[in-house]
Amino acid sequence: MPRRIVITGAGRGIGLGLVERLAATGDEVWGTVRNDAAEQAARAAGAHRVERLDLGDQSSIEAFGALVRDAVDSIDVLINNAG
Protein backbone atom coordinates (compact mmCIF):
# COMPACT_ATOMS: atom_id res chain seq x y z
CA MET A 1 0.00 0.00 0.00
CA PRO A 2 1.47 3.40 -0.97
CA ARG A 3 2.43 5.73 1.83
CA ARG A 4 1.93 9.49 1.90
CA ILE A 5 5.33 11.00 2.62
CA VAL A 6 6.06 14.68 3.25
CA ILE A 7 9.63 15.80 2.55
CA THR A 8 10.73 19.30 3.49
CA GLY A 9 13.54 20.79 1.43
CA ALA A 10 12.50 18.72 -1.59
CA GLY A 11 13.87 21.01 -4.29
CA ARG A 12 17.54 20.02 -4.29
CA GLY A 13 20.20 17.81 -2.78
CA ILE A 14 19.18 15.02 -0.42
CA GLY A 15 15.52 16.09 -0.38
CA LEU A 16 15.28 15.97 -4.17
CA GLY A 17 16.96 12.57 -4.21
CA LEU A 18 14.47 11.27 -1.65
CA VAL A 19 11.55 12.56 -3.73
CA GLU A 20 12.86 10.75 -6.79
CA ARG A 21 13.54 7.48 -4.98
CA LEU A 22 10.32 7.33 -2.95
CA ALA A 23 8.06 8.43 -5.82
CA ALA A 24 9.61 5.67 -7.96
CA THR A 25 8.48 3.07 -5.39
CA GLY A 26 4.86 4.19 -5.77
CA ASP A 27 4.60 6.30 -2.63
CA GLU A 28 2.64 9.55 -2.75
CA VAL A 29 5.29 12.20 -2.12
CA TRP A 30 4.55 15.75 -1.03
CA GLY A 31 7.49 18.11 -1.13
CA THR A 32 8.16 21.59 0.20
CA VAL A 33 10.29 24.14 -1.64
CA ARG A 34 11.21 27.82 -1.43
CA ASN A 35 11.19 28.93 -5.08
CA ASP A 36 10.00 28.24 -8.64
CA ALA A 37 13.16 26.43 -9.75
CA ALA A 38 12.98 24.06 -6.78
CA GLU A 39 9.28 23.46 -7.45
CA GLN A 40 10.02 22.48 -11.04
CA ALA A 41 12.80 20.13 -9.92
CA ALA A 42 10.57 18.44 -7.31
CA ARG A 43 7.76 17.98 -9.82
CA ALA A 44 10.17 16.56 -12.40
CA ALA A 45 11.45 14.11 -9.76
CA GLY A 46 7.93 12.78 -9.23
CA ALA A 47 6.43 14.77 -6.35
CA HIS A 48 2.66 14.42 -6.33
CA ARG A 49 2.18 17.71 -4.52
CA VAL A 50 4.56 20.62 -4.02
CA GLU A 51 3.98 23.38 -1.48
CA ARG A 52 5.94 26.53 -0.68
CA LEU A 53 7.61 26.60 2.72
CA ASP A 54 10.25 29.07 3.84
CA LEU A 55 11.39 28.41 7.41
CA GLY A 56 12.51 32.04 7.67
CA ASP A 57 8.97 33.33 7.03
CA GLN A 58 6.43 32.90 9.84
CA SER A 59 3.40 33.26 7.55
CA SER A 60 4.80 30.53 5.29
CA ILE A 61 5.25 28.25 8.31
CA GLU A 62 1.70 28.92 9.51
CA ALA A 63 0.20 28.25 6.07
CA PHE A 64 2.04 24.97 5.76
CA GLY A 65 1.10 24.07 9.33
CA ALA A 66 -2.59 24.51 8.48
CA LEU A 67 -2.20 22.24 5.46
CA VAL A 68 -0.50 19.55 7.52
CA ARG A 69 -3.08 19.81 10.32
CA ASP A 70 -5.84 19.17 7.79
CA ALA A 71 -4.01 16.10 6.43
CA VAL A 72 -2.32 14.80 9.58
CA ASP A 73 -4.36 11.60 9.72
CA SER A 74 -3.29 10.71 6.20
CA ILE A 75 0.45 11.47 6.45
CA ASP A 76 2.45 8.34 7.09
CA VAL A 77 6.00 9.71 7.11
CA LEU A 78 7.59 13.14 7.60
CA ILE A 79 11.19 13.62 6.50
CA ASN A 80 12.28 16.98 7.91
CA ASN A 81 15.16 17.70 5.58
CA ALA A 82 14.89 21.51 5.28
CA GLY A 83 17.29 23.51 7.26
- The pLDDT, as a whole number, for residue 59 is 95
What's the pLDDT at 73? Answer: 81
Q: In the chain, what are the helix, strand and coil shares in percent, each to the nearest 5?
A: 45, 25, 30
**Residue-by-residue DSSP string for 34-63:** SSHHHHHHHHHTT-SEEEE--TT-HHHHHH
CA distance linking residue 70 with residue 30, whole number of Å: 14
Give strand pairing partners of 79.
7
What does each of the 83 residues of the chain score in pLDDT, given as a tens digit?
889 999 999 999 999 999 999 999 999 999 999 999 999 999 999 999 999 999 899 999 999 989 888 887 889 999 999 87
Q: Do 53 and 8 meet the contact criterion of CB atoms below 8 Å apart?
A: yes
